[in-house]
Amino acid sequence: MIYLLILPAFIMLVLSFWSVQKSRFVLPLTSLLILFPAIKLFFLPKPYSIWGTYLVADDLSAYVMLVSSIVAIGVTLAMSTLGLHVEIKDRVYARFYRFFALFWIGLTLSIISNNMGIYWIGLETATLSTVYMIKTNSSLMARKEAWNYMIVGAIAISLILFGIILIYTSFKPLLGEEAMNFSALLKSAKEIKSPFLFEIGFSITTLGMFIKMGFFPMNLWLANIERASFYPVAALFSGVLESAVIIGFFRFSKIAQLVNPLHLFIFVFIYTILTIFIVSFLIYRSKDFMRLFSLSGVEHMALIALFWASGGVFAALLHFGAHAFLKPALFLSTGILESKGKYKIAGALRGYSGVKGKVFYFLTALFLLAIISVPPSPMFFSELYGFGAMVDIAKKHQHLLLMIGAIMLLLVFLSIIFYKFTEIYQSMKYEGVEQKRVVYGNEVLALVLFAFSLLALLTPWSFEFLRSIS
């Protein structure tokens, strides 16, 4: 199974050294292969041991794996016409795929790992390879941001490892070398001898992850990077890399919940509220699509973390899925809207004609409305369930009034974001001049893929599946 998972990436890595002209069309086709092992993994009985106790797939990782591979395929689909929207050399494609392959190997390792160390190794590989993917854009800003990302990413990643070592230390007297295994940690979390050491380790790890997702003190670096890189890379960032980070958060916080649930909740709660507070105003002030979407991505990540920490597993996973499909879709459509480097918001949605254009227009409008959780969107349901979970946890601790106040505050922040997005939507639709714009088939196909995946998330079957993940 491990070979099956990594084989497509490996083929891509080899092919990318081939001559540019020949590999041009083979590479996207190879990238389609990553879907099959993910689907196969999804239907295998769980927990399925892929490699001893090191790599074990459970429902959570299978779900994240499936979502990530669909996103990756959508992105590579849209990638093949990147050259028609921006100026890019052919050589860059090969480079992109070379590092995409490395990225995918790292990502797979970190998603299906049952071992803190392997999780970290995968995450580091994925991070380092994305550094180079930013540089596919050869603008000055991209160069600067690649270095920035290298530095910030390195700090975040090192903090994560530091925390992991501390957690390992705190469990080692109990479990020996087994103390690296998530499942073993979960089993013996209640008997831990030195909870303080664990909590320091956990908070350092979480801090690293939060930095990597662009939370409170480091809000803008992610937006800058996504602005500087090409749109498929930005889509990969928000759709795939973040999922590898958040699955780590899921796993670590599960253990922390057993050690001291209240500390975990308060820590995450304060952190996410602060993040959403700042991000909502940053969104209100942002002037281009890319920053807008990436900041809203930060907001959604904060919401996912908050829902998960308050025990709303279903809500968090639903929100995660919706975010993973919606954000890349929006980034891809941004790339088309901003074609040839002009990013004017006014009138961006006008001037699409023909069947492709109409479909594109319709889908983009739909995604824009879905991201601010207008009812039929999965985001709406997940937020509903998530706030429900928060109220539940407050009932347990007799802080109901406080919690309702906090939720009200959150809703105020969310409504700021809502207002900004509706304003932008109106400006896109009704202002500005009408221009002739082009959309290509594969891009529409990618968007349709995302739309169908979103619909699939809303079926009762998938609701049931998500509920079964605990």
Binding site for other proteins (CB under 8 A): 54, 115, 117-118, 120-121, 124-125, 128-129, 131-132, 135, 138, 143, 146-147, 150-151, 154-155, 158, 161-162, 165-166, 168-170, 172, 177, 180, 193-194, 196-197, 200
Smaller CB separation from other proteins, 38 or 180: 180
CB of 117 to other proteins, least distance (A): 3
Nearer to other proteins by Cβ, of 196 and 362: the residue is: 196
Measured from the CB atom, the residue of 193 and 467 that comes closer to other proteins is: 193
Give 172 or 350: the residue with its C-beta nearer to other proteins: 172
Residue 326, φ and ψ in degrees, nearest 5 = -75, -45
Least gap, CB of 175 to other proteins (angstroms): 12
Shorter beta-carbon distance to other proteins: residue 86 or 118 = 118
How far is 239 from 67, CA to CA, in rounded Å?
A: 9
Q: Nearest CA to 199 among 228, 223, 170, 178? A: 170
Q: How far is the CB of 102 from other proteins (least distance, A)?
A: 8
Residue closest to 370 by CA, chosen among 312, 319, 427, 335: 319
Q: Are 139 and 145 in contact (CB under 8 A)?
A: no
Q: Smallest distance, Å, CB 215 to other proteins?
A: 18
For residue 144, which of 219, 202, 81, 224 has the smallest C-alpha distance?
224
Alpha-carbon gap, residue 217 to 426, rounded angstroms: 32
Residue 136 Cβ vs other proteins, minimum distance, rounded to whole Å: 10
Helices (H), 81-139: 82-85, 90-112, 116-134
Tokens standing for residue 6:
């990594």
What minimum distance in Å lies between the beta carbon of 205 and other proteins?
12
Q: How far is the CB of 204 from other proteins (least distance, A)?
A: 9
Q: Which is nearer to other proteins, 23 or 129 (CB)?
A: 129
Rounded CA-CA distance 31/135 in Å is 21
Q: Kindly state the smallest distance separating residue 135's Cβ from other proteins, in Å.
A: 6
Nearer to other proteins, 161 or 439 (CB): 161
Q: How far is the CB of 340 from other proteins (least distance, A)?
A: 21
Residues in the chain: 470
- Give the nearer residue to other proteins in terms of CB position, either 120 or 249: 120
The residue (of 78 and 131) whose beta carbon lies closer to other proteins is 131
Q: Map residue 57 onto helix, strand or coil.
A: strand
Which residues neighbour 281 within 8 Å (Cβ) at sequence distance 6 or greater? 416
Measured CA to CA, the distance from residue 21 to residue 5 in angstroms comes to: 27
- CB of 11 or CB of 155, closer to other proteins: 155
Nearest-approach distance from CB 283 to other proteins, in angstroms: 28
Structure tokens at 132: 């180079």
Buried b or exposed e, range 123-139, using 16+ CB within 10 angstroms: bbbbbbbbbbbbbbbee
User: Which residues have a Cβ under 8 Å from the Cβ of 218 and sit 6 or more positions away?
Assistant: 152, 211
Using the minimum distance from each CB to other proteins, give the nearer residue, 158 or 339: 158
Q: Which two tokens stand for residue 7?
A: 């084989």
Q: Nearer to other proteins by C-beta: 128 or 185? A: 128
Give the bridge partners for 48, in sequence order.
57
List of residues 6+ apart from 194 with CB closer than 8 A: 170
Q: Which two tokens stand for residue 5?
A: 């998972």
Closest approach of other proteins to the CB of residue 160, in Å: 10
**Nearest distance from residue 128's CB to other proteins, in Å?**
5
The dihedrals phi and psi of 344, each to the nearest 5 degrees, come to -105, 135
Q: Contact, 208 vs 181, CB < 8 A?
A: no
Q: Smallest Cα–Cα separation from 111: which of 192, 38, 176?
A: 38
Listed in sequence order, the residues at least 6 apart from 208 whose beta carbon sits closer than 8 Å to its beta carbon are 155, 156, 157, 158, 159, 160, 161, 162, 163
